[in-house]
Amino acid sequence: MLSQPPGREALTCFCVHGTSCAKMEACAGSGPRGADVVHPVSFTAVMSASSNLPAVPEDSIAHHSSESLLSPAADAAAPDGLPAPAAAEEMKDALSEVEQRVAELSAIIESIPDAVFIGNEHGITRCNAHVLQLLGFETLEELNAHFHELGERIEMRDAVTGERIPPADEPFARALRGEHVEQEIVVRRRNSGRDFVLRCAAAPVRYRGQIVGAVVINTDITEVRRAEAAKEALLAAVAHDLKNPLAAISGIVQVLQRRAAAGNLPPDRLQSWLSIISTSVARMTVQLNELMDVARFSQGQPLALDWRPTDLVALAQRVAAAQQQSTDIHTIRVEASEPNLVGNWDATRLERVIDNLLTNAVKYSPNGGDIVVTVRREPPVLGRRRGAPRAVLSVRDPGIGIPAEDLPRVFERFYRGANVQLVSGTGIGLSAARQIVEQHGGTISVKSREGAGSTFTVTLPLEDGPSN
């Protein structure tokens, strides 16, 4: 219920007892159980929404309890010459209609997926659960108890300039001054340091030409902005990675052209240069294929897997050896329960999965240490589809770990943990890995604790293939 605007004079109220009182409080206590006063804003707005309601003076009205409305008042003069019982019944129907409209309004606000609240300079009069969640409160009463302390709990910045917004210039405060505001803001909860990017729309609430409050709608676009940033980073990374092999090819071609023109092209050197060109082309092909897979994932299309017998142990050893060449402070080793573990899989896609897991293990273990790749066979489990055995590959690192609140989302596309925002990355590697593994009929999971490293585990069926 909206509170009475400060400074407004007491309004004449009208009740079924047929008397007028100079102040609302006088009428509020006239019934057996007292009454609550309905603000003219809410009452008039709701009443005008229904053409079936009786005409009621717009000045004000006292909201009585059911017992008060039905209490004997036979001697009291009813409005417009109606008998008191008839007036009481009419008023009861009107107030019932008001309560229904208020309930509908509450349901509408609560169903809106954005954070919506209505309030004035004294506090918030109505809000939905998204507002409480955003600000970190359990109830509206708790929020209002700390209303004037919100500046200590949250920090608001302009999403475009990054500059801090003073309390007097926040959208809610500006709307209370009569402005209509549309602005992208970043809200940071000081206790967690987590940022939310919001598209904010605020407008004043007016009654009889006076501003009595403001309504604010905050749309959470954090994930949208994060995805946009990740896409830009992906394009930049792809462009950078493609430049390297192209530069190598271009340089060697120029050398070959000069040697050929001079008649100085030894066969052994030619073979070496052609090998470099072939390797560079292969690197570009892998990167472009990965980019095409990302595009298919974005469109919800499955991959065309190249099923063939693949030794998971040999694949892990090959990828680990390649990754070891990129670091001097890490030791990468493969531990296998048996020398060979062959399944019907897409070797190229699985190589990409293992490479992504090892790349992350190196990147997020800045102090170095042992990175262990384990490959083993898991026997059939009762109740599992056909009781098929499965291959299990895990990658364990001693790195920075993953915050608990980020763990459920690490495999989402473009999502990155709160503790890796300053580390380069696109946020698509783990998402692509999950898509590849799941299309093989397998699973991928993670166990991690912030500051204590991570273990990613991939399970793959040993008897599946294209027919499944």
124 shares a domain with 72 = no
229 shares a domain with 290 = yes
In a domain, 7, yes or no: no
286 shares a domain with 350 = no
Give backbone dihedrals phi and psi of 344, rounded to 5 degrees, phi first.
Answer: -95, 95
Q: Where does a domain end: 240, 272, 298?
A: 298
Q: What is the pLDDT of residue 63?
A: 38
Q: What is the pLDDT of residue 176?
A: 95
In a domain, 392, yes or no: yes
337 shares a domain with 423 = yes
**Do the bridges between strand 154-158 and strand 123-127 make them parallel or antiparallel, or are there none, so unpaired?**
unpaired
324 shares a domain with 385 = yes
Give 210-244 as a DSSP string: EEEEEEEEEEE-HHHHHHHHHHHHHHHHHHHHHHH
456 shares a domain with 440 = yes
407 shares a domain with 376 = yes
452 shares a domain with 381 = yes
| Domain total of the chain | 4
Q: What is the pLDDT of residue 445?
A: 95
In a domain, 6, yes or no: no
196 shares a domain with 124 = yes
Rounded to two decimals, what is the model's pTM?
A: 0.52
Contact 242, 234 (CB under 8 A): no
In a domain, 451, yes or no: yes
Give backbone dihedrals phi and psi of 397, rounded to 5 degrees, phi first.
Answer: -130, 160
Region 359-370: mean pLDDT is: 91
Q: What is the C-alpha separation between 14 and 59, in angstroms, rounded?
A: 9
Q: What pLDDT, in 10s, does the model give residues 292-323? A: 777 777 677 788 889 999 999 999 999 999 88
Query: Chain-wide mean pLDDT for the chain?
Result: 77
Q: Where does a domain end: 172, 199, 220?
A: 220
In a domain, 3, yes or no: no
Q: What is the pLDDT of residue 262?
A: 81
Domain of 285 in residue numbering reads as 225-298
| pLDDT above 90 for 120 | yes
454 shares a domain with 362 = yes
403 shares a domain with 321 = yes
249 shares a domain with 122 = no
In a domain, 103, yes or no: yes
In a domain, 367, yes or no: yes
What's the angle, vertex CA 326, arms to CA 325 and CA 329, rounded to 5? Answer: 95
> Which comes out higher in pLDDT, residue 360 or 264?
360
CB-count exposure of residue 256 (10 Å: 0-12, 13-18, 19+): middle
Q: What is the pLDDT of residue 17?
A: 34
Q: What pLDDT, in 10s, does the model give residues 146-188? A: 888 887 888 899 998 989 999 899 999 999 999 999 999 999 8
